[in-house]
């Protein structure tokens, strides 16, 4: 993989696509800066080697045109603090004014451009827009793993204008290497833990993982549709009625492929979606009417943990329960602990997806897993075996 370690950056205008699509609260304070922190090594490398770092990103999903709440100016101060360096801002991302701002940069300077998605041409993958962006740099670097599954102007189309000067940033390079560690010749047993609310959105990854893993652990809201598929009573739990047949066929496929599919055996239930609700435990196939399953129970935790502790490669996407509420966080926490222990014993563990990463941080597991991905959708698509436009654009 061609990455920026291979080239001289001195004096060059290095146009870096990052994914600074970070969550902001209503006072525009960043509530999770992982993606920004993960992009620092590339930015630091460019400036310490005397390049000019021109940073472009999207933030949120603006309609078309400027929207205050999606302005990238909200992240400047934080970025500057993290880098311990001054950070300039251009209030556009193409055109004369931005070119002028760039022409004033000195070696080692940093300039952030305004949100790319204020132009609808960004998401449309518009060629003319990509061409305008390409005028801003001598070298193009893609470090936006979180957006690598989008064929947008700044992530993919732009690379056509840098046939000999396009590179992976250090973050994107690490992300791909970590995924490849898991997918190519994984040390076995190889276990995938898939959780989260819904099967929808995870079908392709589950299907594709059935060809790769030895064990597939299912938890979270989606487990209740699986319980229904095996004839369980799930009370008022989340049910994707149109996915029951699919869940049945995934169970059959797993068997045919020799994959151990582990569903939760028990469930922590509540009479309403509320931390202070009346709580009771039951088998996952025997949830009383009027109750909602919100976490995996202790029997599931010990069955899952045993498999995890025996594993040598682990991929984790999606929480086991509603971990944001104290009373339903135990399953996710205990499964996280098992992943950390397995890692300590030498397993390679890769965690991705917004919710599971938030959980890993909430329980302070971040330092105890092998790699935390900055990608949600991008990681899933990579695991599905899809080509990511942001990656192929640099490779081709």
Active site residues: 35, 198, 354, 377
Q: Which is nearer to ligand 3PG, 130 or 261 (CB)?
A: 130
Helices 34-48 and 76-83, axial angle in degrees (round to 10): 60
202 binds ligand 3PG (CB under 6 A): no
61 binds ligand 3PG (CB under 6 A): yes
Smallest distance, ligand 3PG to C-beta of residue 377, A: 5
- 237: nearest Cα among 206, 267, 207, 274: 267
Written as six digits, the tokens of 184 are 């190519």
Smallest distance, ligand 3PG to C-beta of residue 146, A: 4
Pairing of strands 371-372, 139-142: unpaired
166 binds ligand 3PG (CB under 6 A): no
19 binds ligand 3PG (CB under 6 A): yes
- 43: nearest Cα among 147, 141, 174, 163: 141
Smallest distance, ligand 3PG to C-beta of residue 20, A: 9
Q: Which is nearer to ligand 3PG, 50 or 377 (CB)?
A: 377
Question: Is the separation of the CB atoms in 383 and 183 below 8 Å?
Answer: yes
Work out whether the CA dihedral 261, 265, 270, 276 comes out positive or negative: negative
From 41, 108, 189, 377, residue interacting with Mg ion (rule: CB under 5 A)? 377
Written as six digits, the tokens of 394 are 């640099």
Tell me the sheet residues that pair with 313: 190, 348
Written as six digits, the tokens of 190 are 């190889």
377 binds ligand 3PG (CB under 6 A): yes
Tell me the sheet residues that pair with 392: none
- 147: nearest Cα among 395, 336, 393: 393
| 21 contact, one of ligand 3PG, Mg ion, none, CB 5-8 Å limit per kind | ligand 3PG
Q: List phi, psi (to 5°) of 312.
A: -110, -20
146 binds ligand 3PG (CB under 6 A): yes
From 34, 42, 147, 349, residue interacting with ligand 3PG (rule: CB under 6 A)? 147
Locus of tokens 């996952």: 284
Q: By rule CB under 5 A, what string of x and - marks binding of each residue 327-366 to Mg ion?
A: ----------------------------------------
| 146 contact, one of Mg ion, ligand 3PG, none, CB 5-8 Å limit per kind | ligand 3PG
385 binds Mg ion (CB under 5 A): no
361 binds ligand 3PG (CB under 6 A): no
Interface residue list for ligand 3PG (CB under 6 A): 19, 21, 61, 146-147, 150, 376-377
């Amino acid at each position: 993989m061609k990455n920026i370690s291979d080239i001289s950056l001195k004096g060059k205008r290095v146009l870096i696509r990052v994914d600074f699509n970070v969550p902001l609260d209503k006072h525009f304070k960043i509530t999770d800066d992982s993606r920004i922190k993960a992009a620092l090594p590339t930015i630091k490398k460019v400036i310490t080697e005397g390049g000019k770092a021109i940073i472009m990103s999207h933030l949120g999903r603006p309609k078309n045109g400027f929207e205050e709440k999606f302005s990238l100016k909200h992240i400047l101060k934080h970025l500057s603090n993290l880098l311990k360096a001054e950070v300039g801002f251009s209030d556009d991302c193409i055109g004369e004014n931005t070119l002028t701002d760039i022409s004033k940069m000195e070696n080692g300077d940093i300039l952030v451009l305004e949100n790319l998605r204020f132009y609808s041409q960004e998401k449309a993958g518009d060629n003319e827009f990509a061409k305008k962006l390409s005028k801003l740099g001598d070298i193009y670097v893609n470090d936006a793993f979180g957006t690598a599954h989008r064929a947008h102007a700044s992530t993919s189309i732009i690379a056509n204008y840098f046939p000999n000067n396009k590179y992976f940033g250090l973050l994107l390079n690490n992300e791909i290497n970590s995924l490849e560690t898991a997918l190519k010749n994984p040390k076995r047993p190889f276990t995938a833990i898939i959780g989260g609310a819904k099967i929808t959105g995870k079908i392709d990854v589950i299907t594709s993982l059935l060809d790769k893993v030895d064990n597939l652990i299912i938890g979270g809201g989606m487990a209740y549709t699986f319980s229904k598929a095996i004839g369980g009573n799930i009370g008022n739990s989340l049910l994707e009625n149109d996915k029951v047949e699919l869940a049945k066929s995934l169970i059959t496929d797993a068997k045919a492929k020799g994959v151990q599919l582990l569903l939760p055996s028990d469930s922590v239930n509540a009479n309403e979606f509320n931390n202070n609700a009346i709580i009771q435990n039951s088998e996952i196939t025997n949830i009383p009417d009027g109750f909602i399953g919100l976490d995996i129970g202790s029997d599931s935790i010990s069955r899952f943990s045993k498999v995890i502790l025996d594993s040598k490669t682990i991929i984790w996407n999606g929480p086991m329960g509603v971990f944001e509420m104290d009373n339903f966080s135990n399953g996710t926490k205990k499964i996280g602990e098992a992943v950390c222990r397995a890692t300590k014993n030498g397993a390679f563990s890769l965690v991705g997806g917004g919710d599971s990463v938030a959980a890993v941080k909430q329980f302070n597991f971040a330092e105890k897993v092998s790699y935390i991905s900055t990608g949600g959708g991008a990681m899933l698509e990579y695991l599905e075996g899809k080509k990511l436009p942001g990656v192929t654009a640099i490779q081709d």
